[in-house]
Amino acid sequence: MSEESIRNYLAAVESRLAADGCAPRWEDWAGVPVLVGRRADFRMRWAATNLHLFTVAAAVPEVTVPVIDTFTTQVLAYAKKNKGGLPVGMQTGVASFPVLVSDRIDPAAMAWAEEKQRNRFACFARPVVVDSTQGYVGMYRGKPALGRAYASHLIEKGARYFQPQG
């Protein structure tokens, strides 16, 4: 697939985020354009917490484990810094979808994304690796012990935002 198909995929994610009330916008992260969307949801069943969900997506030349790992760390730091409101852990949590799209994917990076949710204190990340050549979206779709209350919400949002093209 071409750069055009990668742009089309990111445009589709942008429109799905907009339709879900995430107010997507493009930002410049050290010269790389990234799509950022965010929403906050409150549920009594989440022990009356507010969950801030950040989606940050970018096209990159190649996705390797170090690339998706570093991007995930950057997205978690960004989400924690930009969520506003009460401190993380005080009736508020942060979840994120760090999304990298490329036509060159190291299979180890795909496996890394699908393996598990990445956690920090009251912050969760579900990295997403999109192989634009295969039209395949790799991400963790399970229910981990830590953050289990939010798992169904994150699985549903992931399915809504990142469905493959075609």
Report if residue 52 sits inside a domain. yes
The reply to whether the predicted model has a pTM over 0.95 is no
Beta partners for 136?
Answer: 131
Residue 166 domain flag = no
How many CA atoms within 13 Å lie on the side-chain side of 118? 21
Query: Does 62 reside within a domain?
Result: yes
65 in any annotated domain? yes
Please check whether residue 111 lies inside any domain of the structure.
yes
Q: What is the 3-state secondary structure (H, E, C) of 95-129?
A: EEEEEEEECCECHHHHHHHHHCCEEECCEEECCEE
Least confident of 37-41, 66-70, 80-84, 101-105: 80-84
Number of domains in the chain: 1
Q: What is the pLDDT of residues 11-59, one digit of tens each?
A: 999 999 999 999 999 999 999 999 999 998 766 656 666 788 999 999 9
Of 151, 157, 154, 150, residue with least CA distance to 49: 150
Dihedral angle computed from the Cα positions of residues 18, 4, 34 and 146, in that order, rounded to the nearest 10 degrees: 70
Domain that holds residue 11: 3-161
In a domain, 134, yes or no: yes
